[in-house]
């Protein structure tokens, strides 16, 4: 096999290179683009003129003259040329974000998912809110270019099928085809932690970091793994189910069917269970956190226990993967700082490699919005992806 590119392919590839350079590093002049890409000035000028006509790129006012020749004209990416929709489909709620083409949030919509809601009911309400969000966007040259959805569970991202979301009790749901039929837009679906990792890598705290673990801490525990700058999906695209790592083979049964999974000890579910055992009550996670902020010692014990177990689990992950950065997205609110401190302390005590290559643990930049922003980034990534190489037989 040999990879070749015809003239159209090369032209589209060069266009993609210039456009994505401007997306992330503008303002840049035509001369600077030529210097950074190695493309001729004539090629760059032709591409830029096309991008200006398509309204992806805008010309700024002339800069000060260098005293030699014409003054360079700064070019910047027009992030307001269109919109993208990012959806966080969580266990008990979903969040819909309208974002511009740089993933800056414009509008937020939310709704709850009740335990009694069927899969069809939840999808119908989500579709209705996405349609409201689309119709409420301001006029723009491109309009809404796509929709991304983050799911807490196993996802076949190629087919857009939710294979198993145990905390939602959803199995084999062809969500992409349902949404594309309803919305008449490109739809992209992936695991919530994967999209969170993508969003942080492209636009957030993981930008410029090659080895990142993104941890989504909710009813369950999701993990997005970026190693050497690439998202790790595994053989079937479902890598990163760190929350279902067994830490007690004789432990309680998990929603996934296994026993003693980490998320039974280190998630919101674990905090609720521990607190209710200590107090002989039945309260929600939000109420536990509220009571923690009020100085409730039992709430502190419940959160500390979860943080300790999370640190123990992450110690193994640090030993195995040697990440530079661990980003945590949670709903712990003001308590998250103490959780991260406790987790970091346990990792330092238990990780074999920490003295040689310590991992930083910090809050994700987008925090509780990481999944929805990352889902939007997934749709952006697809829209701005370069052309695939043509494959010919030798």
Structure tokens at 321: 């993967």
Q: Say what percent of the chain tops pLDDT 90.
A: 78
The reported pLDDT for the residue numbered 308 is 96
> What's the whole-number average pLDDT of the chain?
91
The reported pLDDT for the residue numbered 390 is 39
Output DSSP code: residue 248: -
Apex CA 171: angle with CA 169 and CA 173, to 5°?
A: 120
- Second-level CATH architecture of 206-364: 2-Layer Sandwich (3.30)
In the chain, list all ranges with CATH 1.10.10.10.
Answer: 2-77
Q: Residue 393: is its pLDDT beyond 60?
A: no
Question: What value does the mean pLDDT take over residues 226-240?
Answer: 90
The reported pLDDT for the residue numbered 388 is 59
The interaxial angle of helices 268-279 and 285-293, nearest 10 deg, is 70
Taking the C-alpha atoms of residue 289 and residue 271, their distance in angstroms, rounded to an integer, is 9
pLDDT range class, residue 238, cuts 50, 70, 90: confident
Q: What kind of fold does domain 2-77 have according to CATH?
A: Arc Repressor Mutant, subunit A (1.10.10)
pTM exceeds cut of 0.85: yes
Taking the C-alpha atoms of residue 126 and residue 150, their distance in angstroms, rounded to an integer, is 13
Omega prior to 27 cis, within 30 of 0: yes
Determine contact, residues 211/228, Cβ cutoff 8 Å.
Answer: yes
At 316-372, the pLDDT tens digits run 999 999 999 999 999 898 889 999 999 999 999 999 998 889 999 999 999 889 999
Q: How many helices (H) and strands (E) does the chain have?
A: 12, 17
The reported pLDDT for the residue numbered 255 is 85
The reported pLDDT for the residue numbered 56 is 96
At 62-106, the pLDDT tens digits run 555 555 556 788 999 999 999 999 999 988 889 999 999 999 999
DSSP H helical segments within the chain, as ranges? 7-25, 30-37, 41-53, 119-135, 175-183, 192-203, 263-266, 268-279, 285-293, 297-321, 336-350, 370-383
Taking the C-alpha atoms of residue 265 and residue 279, their distance in angstroms, rounded to an integer, is 18
At 263-309, the pLDDT tens digits run 999 999 999 999 999 999 999 999 999 999 999 999 999 999 999 99
How many angstroms separate the Cα of 254 from the Cα of each of 195, 247, 260, 306? 24, 12, 7, 16
**HEC per residue, 179-223:** HHHHHCCCEEEEEHHHHHHHHHHHHCCCCCCCCEEEEEECCCEEE
Q: Residue 391: is its pLDDT beyond 50?
A: no
Taking the C-alpha atoms of residue 307 and residue 211, their distance in angstroms, rounded to an integer, is 23
Question: What value does the mean pLDDT take over residues 208-224?
Answer: 93
Sign of CA dihedral 303, 306, 311, 317: negative
Determine contact, residues 368/218, Cβ cutoff 8 Å.
Answer: no
At 15-61, the pLDDT tens digits run 999 999 999 999 999 999 999 999 999 999 999 999 999 999 999 87
Q: What kind of fold does domain 80-196+373-383 have according to CATH?
A: Nucleotidyltransferase; domain 5 (3.30.420)
The reported pLDDT for the residue numbered 387 is 77
Q: Residue 383: is its pLDDT beyond 70?
A: yes
The reported pLDDT for the residue numbered 2 is 43
Which of 289-315 are b and which e, b meaning 16 or more Cβ less than 10 Å from the residue's Cβ? bebbeeebebbbebbbbbbbbbbbbbb
Determine contact, residues 221/167, Cβ cutoff 8 Å.
Answer: no
In the chain, list all ranges with CATH 3.30.420.40.
Answer: 80-196+373-383, 206-364
The reported pLDDT for the residue numbered 117 is 84
Taking the C-alpha atoms of residue 210 and residue 9, their distance in angstroms, rounded to an integer, is 29
Taking the C-alpha atoms of residue 131 and residue 87, their distance in angstroms, rounded to an integer, is 12
């Amino acid at each position: 096999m040999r990879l070749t590119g015809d003239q159209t392919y090369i032209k589209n590839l060069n266009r993609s290179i210039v456009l994505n350079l401007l997306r992330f590093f503008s303002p840049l002049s035509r001369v600077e683009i030529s210097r950074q890409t190695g493309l001729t000035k004539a090629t760059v000028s032709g591409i830029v003129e096309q991008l200006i006509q398509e309204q992806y790129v805008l010309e700024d006012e002339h800069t000060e003259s260098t005293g030699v020749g014409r003054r360079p004209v700064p070019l910047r990416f027009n992030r307001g040329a269109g919109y993208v929709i990012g959806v966080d489909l969580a266990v008990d709620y979903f969040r819909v974000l309208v974002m511009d083409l740089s993933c800056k949030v414009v509008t937020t919509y939310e709704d709850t998912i009740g335990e009694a809601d069927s899969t069809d009911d939840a999808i119908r309400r989500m579709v209705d809110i996405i349609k409201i969000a689309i119709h409420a966007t301001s006029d723009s040259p491109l309009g809404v270019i796509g929709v991304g959805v983050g799911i807490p569970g196993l996802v076949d991202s190629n087919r857009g099928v939710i294979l198993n979301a145990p905390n939602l009790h959803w199995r084999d749901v062809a969500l992409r085809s349902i949404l594309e039929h309803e919305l008449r837009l490109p739809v992209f679906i992936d695991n919530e932690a994967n999209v969170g990792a993508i969003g942080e890598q492209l636009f957030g705290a993981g930008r410029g970091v090659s080895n990142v673990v993104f941890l989504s801490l909710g009813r369950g525990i999701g993990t997005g793994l970026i190693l050497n700058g690439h998202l790790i999906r595994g053989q079937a695209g479902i890598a990163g189910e760190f929350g279902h790592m067994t830490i007690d083979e004789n432990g309680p049964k998990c929603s996934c069917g296994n026993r003693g999974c980490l998320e039974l000890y280190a998630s919101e579910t674990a905090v609720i269970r521990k607190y209710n055992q200590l107090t002989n009550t039945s309260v929600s996670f939000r109420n536990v956190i509220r009571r923690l902020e009020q100085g409730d010692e039992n709430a502190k014990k419940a959160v500390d226990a979860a943080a300790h177990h999370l640190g123990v689990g992450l110690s193994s992950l640090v030993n195995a993967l040697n990440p530079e950065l661990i980003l945590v997205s949670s709903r712990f609110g003001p308590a998250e700082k103490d959780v991260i401190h406790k987790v970091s302390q346990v990792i330092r005590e238990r990780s074999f490699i920490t003295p040689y290559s310590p991992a930083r643990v910090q809050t994700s930049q987008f925090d509780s919005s990481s999944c929805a922003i990352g889902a939007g980034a997934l749709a952006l990534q697809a829209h701005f992806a370069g052309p695939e190489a043509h494959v010919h037989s030798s």
